[in-house]
Amino acid sequence: MQTPAAALHDLPAHTLLQAYRQRTLSPVEVVQAVLDRIDRWEPHLHATWLLRPEAALAQARASEARWLRGAPQGLLDGIPCTLKDNIATCGDPTPLGTAAVDLVPAPADAPPAARLREAGAVLVAKTTMPDFGMLSSGLSSFHALARNPWDLDKGPGGSSAGAGAAAAAGYGPLHVGTDIGGSLRLPASWCGIFTLKPSLGRIPIDPPYTGRAAGPMTRNVHDAALMMQVLSQPDVRDSMALPPQTLDWQDVERGPEHVRGLRIGLLLDAGCGLAVEPDVRAAIEHAAALLESAGAQVTPLRPFMTQAMLDGMDHFWRMRSHLDMASLPAERRALVLPFIRAWADSVADMPGAAVFQASQQFHATRVATVRACAAFDYVISPVAPLPAFAAELPSPTNDPLRPLEHIGFTVPYNMSEQPAASVNCGYTASGLPIGLQIAGQRFDDLGVLRLARAFEHLRGAQRPWPEPPTVSP
pLDDT digits (tens, 9 = 90+) for 418-427: 999 999 999 9
> Are 178 and 99 in the same domain?
yes
For residue 250, tell me if it sits in a domain: no
| Same-domain status, 202 and 111 | yes
CA distances from 163 to 168, 266, 350, 440 (A): 9, 28, 35, 24
Confidence check: pLDDT of 1 > 90: no
Instruction: Say what the pTM is.
Output: 0.97
Position 473 scores a pLDDT of 79
Residues 22 and 101 in one domain: yes
Q: 375 with 429, same domain?
A: yes
Give buried/exposed letters for 323-335 (b at 16+ CB in 10 A, else e). Answer: ebbeebeeeebee
Q: Residue 307's domain spans which residues?
A: 256-459
pLDDT surpassing 90 at residue 243: yes
Residues 227 and 354 placed together within one structural domain of the fold: no
Domain boundary among the residues 231, 246, 266 is at: 231
Catalytic member of 141, 183, 189, 422: 183
Find out whether 408 and 443 touch, Cβ atoms under 8 Å. Answer: no
Is 362 inside a domain boundary?
Answer: yes
Q: Are 263 and 207 within one domain?
A: no
> What is the pLDDT, as a whole number, of residue 53?
98
Q: Model confidence over 79-129: pLDDT tens digits?
A: 999 999 999 999 999 999 999 999 999 999 999 999 999 999 999 999 999
Residues 340, 286 within the same domain: yes
- pLDDT tens by residue, 324-363: 999 999 999 999 999 999 999 999 999 999 999 999 999 9
Whole-angstrom Cα distance, residue 98 to residue 102?
A: 10
Which residue is catalytic, options 26, 63, 84, 381? 84
Distances in whole angstroms, Cα of residue 271 to Cα of each of 304, 309, 311, 435: 6, 10, 12, 19
The verdict on 345 and 449 lying in the same domain is yes
Q: Are residues 215 and 304 in the same domain?
A: no
Residue 167 domain flag = yes
Is 183 among the residues known to form the active site? yes
pLDDT above 90 (res 6):
no
Number of domains in the chain: 2
pLDDT bin (cut points 50, 70, 90) of residue 183 is very high
CA dist list (Å): 424 to 49, 428, 438? 26, 12, 11
**Per-residue confidence (pLDDT) for residue 471, from 0 to 100:** 80
Asked if residue 182 and residue 94 are part of one domain, the reply reads yes
Same domain, 411 and 300: yes
| Sequence letter at residue 211 | G
247 in a structural domain:
no
pLDDT band at 2 (very low <50, low <70, confident <90, very high): very low
292 and 429 belong to one structural domain: yes
Per annotation, catalytic residue among 136, 141, 159, 189: 159
Q: What is the mean pLDDT of residues 286-309?
A: 98
- Check pLDDT > 90 for residue 280: yes
d(CA 141, CA 127): 15
Section 246-271 average pLDDT:
97
